[in-house]
Structure formats: structure tokens, C-alpha cells
């Protein structure tokens, strides 16, 4: 059985290899370790190997880990990303505990996060989730509407608009994966020009199965869970 440290190293190697293949520097892509359903002990083990950014889909589960690990003097400071859907009754928890949010797709949630972000914390770093391939059952703002949302979010003082996040449906083969990720990259590039925000620098796309294609298309942050922590068991 491979260890978590071996898994992490394998993913880091995949990222570096993918970057070299498309003439990018490996440091241009950040690895976000997705720790949903795994324990604080698992996160601690990966953190001791040097990983600092962790993503959580389930808010209360994530908050429990954040609180436990921040109280542990043996765990270095970690950066916590909320990468799951956010309901209105959970915005306060997110605003108080997380450093990043990747899943803003409507102004109401952004406004609540802004209003509930504690004044002693730095602005919440946020990405807008875009339904880039038009999946009918997926979250995310339509590509045609994302600029309007971005302009509104950029006005909120307790949020810092960092970029876009996508979760396209699985595509068959590398070229098909690259094609859908290229749509997100083109949208990101267009918005960067219009918004003219120096901090608008993050394109969060790519997971275990398609991180190479996402990097080829220009991803700056890949969200990897299974390849690091292993397969997940969900309670019924």
C-alpha cells in the first residue's frame, strides 16, 4: 500500500511533468489537496509532507477540521478552500473559517460572505464558479452572465475576486478535455482584460482525472483528492 506521502509526490510529479510538456514553470500551478470525507489526521499527515492548501466540499466537516488543526501546535498554518456549494444558512461559517471560496455563482451568497467576514481577518479570496459546458444539473453561473456577476462582486470590500472555477462533465480523451478547459481559459483571459484587477490571477480547474489537460489549457490551480487520499467511502 502506498503512503500519503508517496501519493502526494506522485501528484506533484504529474503536475511538474504536465507543466514541462507545455512550457510552463511547475510553480505556475498550485496543488489544492481535496480532503473531503477524510480525517483531520489524514490532513495532518499530508501537511507534514509540505502541502499547505486544502479543499473541503462539506462546510461543517471542513470547519471541524480547521478548528482541530489550528489548535494543534505541531501543524503549520494551512490555507483552507471551500470548494462545495454554499447555502445561505452556511455563509457565516464559511466567512469566519475559510481563506478561499471557489463556488460563488450568485450575488446573494457573495454579499452575505462579505457582510459576515470578520473585520480582523483579511478579505476572503473568492472565485466565481462557471458552468462552462452548460451541464443542466450543475452549479455555476452561465458564461454569458459571469462578467456581470464579477463586476458586482469586485465592489464588495471584504472579498477579493481572484478568478474562475469550473467543474466540467467528464470528457473522453485528452483532446476533448483540453477543448472544454480552453473555453474556460478564453473566458478567463477576456475577463482579466475587462476587469483590470491585478489580483485576478486564478483559474481553478482540473482534478485527478484531467489535471494534465487542465494544465495544458492554462489552469493555475488543480483540485486533487482521490490521487492523494485514495478512494472515498460515503455514508448512506
Dihedral angle computed from the Cα positions of residues 37, 84, 178 and 20, in that order, rounded to the nearest 10 degrees: -60
Looking up cell 475577463 gives 191
- Left (φ > 0), alpha (ψ -120 to 50) or beta: where does 34 sit? beta
Burial class (CB in 10 A: 0-12, 13-18, 19+), 87: exposed
Contact 178, 170 (CB under 8 A): no
Contact 84, 36 (CB under 8 A): yes
Ordered by where they begin, the domains of the chain are: 4-229 (3.20.20.10)
Rounded to two decimals, the pTM is 0.96
Looking up cell 455563509 gives 91
Per-residue pLDDT of the chain (236 residues; tens, 9 = 90+): 479 999 999 999 999 999 999 999 999 999 999 999 999 999 999 999 999 999 999 999 999 999 999 999 999 999 999 999 999 999 999 999 999 999 999 999 999 999 999 999 999 999 999 999 987 667 899 999 999 999 999 999 999 999 999 999 999 999 999 999 999 999 999 999 999 999 999 999 999 999 999 999 999 999 999 999 998 765 54
Among candidate residues 74, 66, 101, the one with its CA nearest the CA of residue 86: 101
Per-residue model confidence (pLDDT) at position 115: 98
Per-residue model confidence (pLDDT) at position 134: 86
**Cα dihedral sign, 40-31-100-185:** negative
Q: Strand locations in 39-95, DSSP E?
A: 53-56, 79-82
What's the CA gap between 220 and 184, in Å, rounded? 12
What cell numbers appear for 218 in the block?
492554462
What cell numbers appear for 130 in the block?
462557471
Per-residue model confidence (pLDDT) at position 231: 83
Per-residue model confidence (pLDDT) at position 235: 55
Looking up cell 485576478 gives 200
Amino acid at each position: 500500500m502506498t503512503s500519503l506521502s508517496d501519493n502526494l509526490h506522485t501528484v506533484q510529479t504529474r503536475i511538474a511533468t504536465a507543466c514541462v510538456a507545455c512550457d510552463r514553470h511547475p510553480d505556475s500551478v498550485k496543488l489544492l489537496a481535496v480532503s473531503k470525507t477524510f480525517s483531520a489526521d489524514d490532513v495532518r499527515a499530508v501537511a507534514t509532507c509540505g502541502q499547505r492548501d486544502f479543499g473541503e466540499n462539506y462546510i461543517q466537516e471542513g470547519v471541524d477540521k480547521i478548528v482541530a488543526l489550528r489548535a494543534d501546535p505541531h501543524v503549520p498554518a494551512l490555507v483552507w478552500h471551500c470548494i462545495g456549494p454554499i447555502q445561505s444558512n452556511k455563509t457565516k461559517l464559511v466567512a469566519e473559517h475559510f481563506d478561499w471560496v471557489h463556488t460563488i455563482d450568485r450575488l446573494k451568497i457573495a454579499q452575505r460572505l462579505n457582510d459576515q467576514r470578520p473585520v480582523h481577518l483579511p478579505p476572503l479570496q473568492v472565485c466565481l464558479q462557471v458552468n462552462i459546458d452548460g451541464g443542466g444539473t450543475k452549479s455555476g453561473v452561465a458564461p454569458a452572465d459571469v462578467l456581470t456577476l464579477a463586476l458586482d462582486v469586485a465592489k464588495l470590500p471584504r472579498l477579493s475576486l481572484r478568478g474562475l472555477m469550473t467543474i466540467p462533465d467528464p470528457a473522453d480523451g485528452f483532446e476533448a478535455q483540453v477543448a472544454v478547459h480552453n473555453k474556460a481559459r478564453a473566458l478567463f483571459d477576456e475577463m482579466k482584460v475587462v476587469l483590470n484587477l491585478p489580483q485576478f490571477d486564478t483559474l481553478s480547474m482540473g482534478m485527478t482525472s484531467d489535471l494534465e489537460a487542465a494544465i495544458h489549457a492554462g489552469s493555475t490551480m488543480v483540485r486533487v483528492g482521490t490521487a492523494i487520499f485514495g478512494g472515498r467511502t460515503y455514508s448512506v
